[in-house]
Structure 1
Amino acid sequence: MTLAIHANELDTPVPDQPAVHTLRLLTLNTHKGFTSFNRKFILPELREAVRELSTDIVFLQEVLGTHKRHASRHANWPETPQYEFLADSMWTQYSYGRNAVYPHGDHGNALLSKYPIISYQNLDVSIGKIEQRGLLHSILRVPGQRELHAICCHLGLRESHRRQQLKLLCELLQSIPENDPVIVAGDFNDWRRNADDILASCGMEEAFVSCTGAPARSFPARWPFLCLDRVYLRNATAHNPKVLSDKPWSHLSDHAPLAVEIRL
């Protein structure tokens, strides 16, 4: 496992603000801004849909940093990285963990936040050379709270790889101060539901399971029946979890987004 650290320190003091006890969270595999089977580039429509939710923190997977070939083929391709385009003026803070690099560009995980990101790091948890995967660990400063740890992940397609990646995730969780609130969200590709028991050993509880007794069905977006996307919490509670599978979400990615209210 390699560790890439990216400085994003905030030197400007944050003015006194009322304590925040509730956060609205969204996690989404953006499918690089394309509809299922890459039929249409719909990142501008996706941005408008995300903005309408007024979410505080957005976890993104499969978001492009650059892609020269796509940029030359699509007239509405943004001039900025996709995560920056999605953040626009709604989320003044963002972090990006580049996982896969290829001749025409790169993609990875990203976090958009309305609250200051003190620092972030991207942990390479790739197993072998076929799939490049990472854990984007961002530390947020939320008024009136301890440091909030937000970990955006996209695990591998092979079960043996996922088990090793979950072990690495547990090692990361064990390094975080035990009283700090932690959110882990993203695409786990865990259709066998092995992650719940593994992460429970690190004090993590899945949001949909704790509220409804069952994980969210999020894939494929139009007829969700596989439970691939998850939200895990520690030192926080989940409320009103929702799978956004209706229009327009059903055609904006191959995954349906998950929305959860988090209370600290």
Structure 2
Amino acid sequence: MELTFASYNIHKAVGLDRRRDPDRILAILNETGADVIALQEADRRFGRRESVLPLAAIESHTPYRAVHLGMRPDSIGWHGNALLVRRTIEVTEACAVPLPTLEPRGAIRADLVVEGRRLRVVGMHLDLSGLRRRQQVRSILSHVTDCENPVPSVLMGDFNEWARHGGCFHEIPRDWQVLAPGRSFPSRRPVAQLDRIVVSDEWRAIATGVHHSALAARGSDHLPVWARLVLPKI
């Protein structure tokens, strides 16, 4: 089974031209061709925390649907984190992941079924503090491993980790793989690999990359990152 996973900090749909343009973000998501997408900064920060990507627009202009958490009526996620999956993918369970934090950060988890195989995905946006990031990674891994029935897992998002190695990645088990698709921030002239994808040992990565396009170059201060993964037959 081969799937493409992507992660994109959409900066509340505000591009480098300072315009909030949800349609532009949806077009960029379509460009990635991913099967599962983790979004960060997908909700407004204050008030009702409504999604910056209207559900009706996601359903009418993309092949995706938002994983429903039911946390807030106007939001598609939790603390700006959202997961989109192709409509052919079954979602069996979804929830917010409790994180130790002083900032409005968060993570969400969904269990999916694809071609009869069950897998687990976590989208996250971690803290600016290095110590807090390490605590958050430990909390996420504890949550994933404590779930009933261990399954192949993919963790992805904006880790806010400037170090290429070390930092919060010291918390990742040795049998997991930390993928660094490339420099994705800032989008105009990327210098940092803040956006990462981490996979459990069942997966084999066959390709990774940063999505570059004319739209992506101005749609957000981050570029989308992606990984094409293969899950061997049982």
> Which residue of 185, 196, 221 corresponds with 1:219?
185
Note the C-alpha offset of 1:22. Answer: 0.7
* Matching residue of 1:91: 64
Distance 1:188 1:238, change over 3 A: same
How far apart, CA to CA, are the structure 1 residues paired with 2:191 and 2:44?
30
Note the C-alpha offset of 1:96. Answer: 4.8
Distance 1:227 1:92, change over 3 A: closer
Note the C-alpha offset of 1:57. Answer: 0.7
Q: Which amino acid aligns with 2:111?
A: I
* Matching residue of 2:158: 187
Note the C-alpha offset of 1:120. Answer: 0.5
> Which residue of 94, 97, 103 corresponds with 1:123?
97
Note the C-alpha offset of 1:127. Answer: 2.0
**Does residue 59 in structure 1 map to residue 9 in structure 2?**
no
How far apart, CA to CA, are the structure 2 residues paired with 1:221 and 1:205?
25
Please tell me whether Structure 1 or Structure 2 has the larger radius of gyration of its CA atoms: 1
Provide, for residues 94-140 of structure 1, a one-character-per-residue CA deviation record: whole Å limited to 9, x for no partner.
Answer: 235869x9xxxx84211011211111110231423xx1222201000
* Matching residue of 1:197: 170
**Preserved CA contact (<8 Å) 2:55 2:66:** no
> Which residue of 107, 111, 122 corresponds with 1:151?
122
Note the C-alpha offset of 1:196. Answer: 2.7
> Which residue of 32, 46, 53 corresponds with 2:12?
32
Provide, for residues 155-194 of structure 1, a one-character-per-residue CA deviation record: whole Å limited to 9, x for no partner.
Answer: 0011121121112122123224675110000000011242
**Preserved CA contact (<8 Å) 2:91 2:110:** yes
Which stretch of the first structure deviates more once superposed, 57-66 or 249-258? 57-66
Runs of 4+ in 1 over 3 A off after TM superposition: 65-71, 95-99, 176-179
What stretches of structure 2 of length at least 5 have no aligned partner?
none
Which stretch of the first structure deviates more once superposed, 42-51 or 153-162? 42-51
**Does residue 243 in structure 1 map to residue 210 in structure 2?**
yes
What stretches of structure 1 of length at least 5 have no aligned partner?
1-20, 72-79, 209-214
Note the C-alpha offset of 1:26. Answer: 1.3
State the TM-score, normalized to the length of structure 1.
Answer: 0.74
* Matching residue of 2:22: 43
Secondary structure at 1:119's aligned position in 2? strand
Secondary structure at 2:81's aligned position in 1? strand
How far apart, CA to CA, are the structure 2 residues paired with 1:56 and 1:123?
22
Q: Which amino acid aligns with 2:4?
A: R
Which stretch of the first structure deviates more once superposed, 148-157 or 53-62? 53-62
**Does residue 111 in structure 1 map to residue 74 in structure 2?**
no
Secondary structure at 2:32's aligned position in 1? coil
**Does residue 166 in structure 1 map to residue 133 in structure 2?**
no
How far apart, CA to CA, are the structure 2 residues paired with 1:189 and 1:33?
19
State the TM-score, normalized to the length of structure 2.
Answer: 0.82
Which stretch of the first structure deviates more once superposed, 175-184 or 55-64? 175-184
Distance 1:154 1:259, change over 3 A: same
Task: State the percentage of identical aligned residues.
Answer: 25
* Matching residue of 2:225: 258
Note the C-alpha offset of 1:245. Answer: 3.3
* Matching residue of 1:133: 105
Please give the residue correspondences for 1:61-80 in structure 2 after superposition, counting only pairs within 5 Å. 61-64=40-43
Which stretch of the first structure deviates more once superposed, 149-158 or 170-179? 170-179
**Preserved CA contact (<8 Å) 1:152 1:186:** yes
**Preserved CA contact (<8 Å) 1:219 1:225:** yes
How far apart, CA to CA, are the structure 2 residues paired with 1:109 and 1:27?
10
Q: Which amino acid aligns with 1:95?
A: H
